[in-house]
Amino acid sequence: MAGCCGGTTCGIGRCFGHFSRRYTRRYERRGLEATQKQLVAGLREVGFDGRSLLEIGCGVGYLHQHLLLRGAATAVGVDLAEAMLTEARALAARQGLAERVRYVSGDFQIMAPELDAADITLLDKVVCCYPDAPGLMAAAIGRTKQACALTLPRRHWFNRAAAHLGAGLFRVVGSTYRPFVHDPTAIDRQMRAAGFEPAFEARTLIWLTRIYRRAPAPPAGD
């Protein structure tokens, strides 16, 4: 599999890899975050029982593992941080899921052609870490059969200011990682243009959760 492409994306892997064990401990103590609970609620409406999952930027894996334990069939997790995947494999093994999940390290946008399409694609707090949102979403769309679920920052002044401050701090410490607040409207247009329609939306003060479902093909002859 291709590795990360350098620059900002490699900075993502190095930055988040340091916190892999902390993410696992947090999940074991508290469970899913509020936005992830919203995402799971939306996926219940869309339907994930018996479906295959592809999680981009899967971290330590607890989101797709949560869905596997509740009816999803199989999952592939992709992440730039090998330390995250080490934790994900261990967590999957502890929950008896090792045979139903596969983990791949690298930049999803580069390696997408090598991966099988999945029924449902997950991007939980991933778009905000990636510099090329249209390219990432195009790669995700190309590997999505039925539904795409994502959580991204709402585009208001507070989030933009926080991203600007965060970028400055990471620059000072010598990290190439940068946070981004991409335009949800542009992503919505891209999803609709690719043949998807909105199926679920929820919000917190900071985050926007959306699920898009592939629109049914028009009847023959239309």
Q: How confident is the model at residue 2 (pLDDT cuts 50, 70, 90)?
A: very low
* DSSP state for residue 206 in the 8-state scheme: S
The residue ranking higher by pLDDT, 146 or 15, is 146
Q: Does residue 163 surpass a pLDDT of 80?
A: no
Tell me the DSSP string of 190-215. Answer: HHHHTTEEEEEEEE-SSEEEEEEEEP
Task: Return the pLDDT at 93.
Answer: 96
**Residues 87-141: tens digit of each pLDDT:** 999 999 999 999 999 999 999 999 999 999 999 999 999 998 888 999 999 999 9
Task: Return the pLDDT at 170.
Answer: 56
Task: Return the pLDDT at 160.
Answer: 64
Q: What is the mean pLDDT of residues 50-68?
A: 96
Q: Look at strands 207-214 and 52-56 and give their pairing.
A: unpaired
